[in-house]
């Protein structure tokens, strides 16, 4: 039996979405599959929803920037922010945890705490040296 604590546990993963008809992966989730025109229905009332696949693992840094004007809840003077491409071709944005980022570098993406507000934490991809 699932405990109440597990039932209401915060989902800290970042997901890709797989089309149930043709198997193509997307991030972020589309409303219509580009490959087979299958429609996504998160309510599952009419169509089956796309399968959620946790993202992470080896990737390559395509581009990055450093941001100094940060919103509330990020307790540091600046953050580096990167776009990575995974080996399966998916691209995603993440917080760079690398001191001296170089475009083209191999990195490892993991889900982690990216922003803290009162009563609410935000999780996203964090990018580490491979």
Q: Kindly list the residues in this chain that would bind Zn ion in the complex (CB under 5 A).
A: 19, 21-22, 33, 35-36, 38
Report the relative pairing of strands 91-96 and 79-86 from DSSP bridges.
antiparallel
Task: State which residue, 65 or 88, has the beta carbon closest to Zn ion.
Answer: 88
Residue 50 beta carbon to Zn ion: minimum distance, rounded to whole angstroms = 9
Residue 34 beta carbon to Zn ion: minimum distance, rounded to whole angstroms = 8
* Sequence-separated (6 or more) residues with CB below 8 Å from residue 63: 82, 83, 103
Residue 128 beta carbon to Zn ion: minimum distance, rounded to whole angstroms = 32
Task: State which residue, 36 or 67, has the beta carbon closest to Zn ion.
Answer: 36
CB 76 within 8 A of CB 96: no
Phi-psi region of 99 (alpha: psi -120 to 50; beta: other; left: phi over 0): alpha
Task: State which residue, 28 or 119, has the beta carbon closest to Zn ion.
Answer: 28
């Amino acid at each position: 039996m699932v405990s109440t604590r597990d039932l209401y546990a915060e989902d800290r993963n970042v997901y890709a979405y797989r089309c149930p008809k043709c198997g193509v992966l997307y991030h972020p989730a589309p409303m219509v599959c580009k490959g087979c025109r299958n429609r996504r229905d998160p309510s599952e009332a009419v169509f089956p929803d796309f399968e959620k696949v946790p993202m992470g693992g080896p990737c390559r840094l395509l581009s990055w920037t450093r941001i100094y004007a940060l919103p509330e809840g990020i307790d540091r003077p600046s953050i580096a922010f990167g776009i990575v491409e995974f080996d399966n071709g998916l691209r995603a944005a993440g917080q760079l945890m690398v001191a001296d980022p170089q475009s083209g570098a191999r990195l490892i993406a993991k889900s982690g705490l990216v922003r803290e507000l009162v009563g609410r934490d935000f999780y996203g991809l964090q990018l580490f040296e491979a």
